[in-house]
Amino acid sequence: THLTNFLGTPSGIPDFRTPGSGLYDNLQQYNLPYAEDIFEINYFHHNPNPFFAFAKELYPGNYQPNLTHYFIRLLHDKGQLLRMYTQNIDGLERMAGIPPNMLVEAHGTFATAKCTVCRRDYRVEELRNDIMEGTIPKCPTCKGIIKPDIVFFGEELPQQFFTYLTDFPIAHLLIVMGTSLEVEPFASLAGAVRGSVSRLLINRDLVGPFAWGSQRHNDVAELGDVVSGAKKLVELLGWKQELEALMNVGGDKTSVNKEE
């Protein structure tokens, strides 16, 4: 059984902090003190427009899973995935066909939403027209703002995050990909596996315990582009043809839906 912890996505999604990207430029009109304010819950209640400009850019379907997502999907298909822990909110894991019950979306998801006043639940499809038209989605029941189930600064992590308390003690391998390992409490998960468990980092830089001088004797780091690193691992495992076949088919929705 493997525990896979995947974070970053080189699927063409723009970094909202990067000057020159369309998303960054779109946010400039709001004169945000900091780009991260779009994820501050108090700022959201004051002015939800910047967040929904971001939501329009990141709306499910605008981007496609890449090789790393399908690698995780292949681990699942082979019965080797214990759980995938992610800070991503782009939903690409689900699009690759990884069942929701195999995911811990620690920073939430765009797949579902909730009224900020009456707490009525919504599916993301119900918000699509408003988000795409640049209109703030409002609850027809109480007229409150409907917010996708993304975890904002100032909000608690979803209860599912604490699944790590039972997952990590039984993991046989931890794979960490595409992350700075700077945001807590998620970053500390890298140290939650048993000392005898190998940890594989596939990343551009050494991060977290791989960089702090607290490495373990069985830690391995493959530095460079995440997709290239995952591809190299797949080739070493002899799974290249299987992965290519999976990617040609795309996310098999039956895999997603059967365990919703």
Strands (E), the chain: 2-6, 81-86, 103-105, 108-115, 121-123, 146-150, 173-177, 198-203, 219-223
Exposure class string for 43-67: b at 16+ Cβ within 10 A, else e: bbeeebebbbbbbbbbbbeebebbb
The catalytic residues are 107
Exposure class string for 213-232: b at 16+ Cβ within 10 A, else e: eeeeeebebbeeebbebbbe
- DSSP β-ladder status, 81-86 and 173-177: unpaired
Q: What span, in angstroms and rounded, lies between the C-alpha atoms of 172 and 160?
A: 21
What 3-state DSSP class applies to 234?
Answer: helix
Residue 147 CA from chain centroid, whole number: 18
Residue 83 contacts by C-beta under 8 Å, 6 or more apart in sequence?
A: 3, 4, 102, 103, 104, 163, 167
Q: 112, 116, 142: which is closest to 127 by C-alpha?
A: 112
Cβ atoms within 10 Å of 92's Cβ, excluding its own: 22
Q: Percentages helix, strand, coil for the chain, rounded to the nearest 5? A: 40, 20, 40
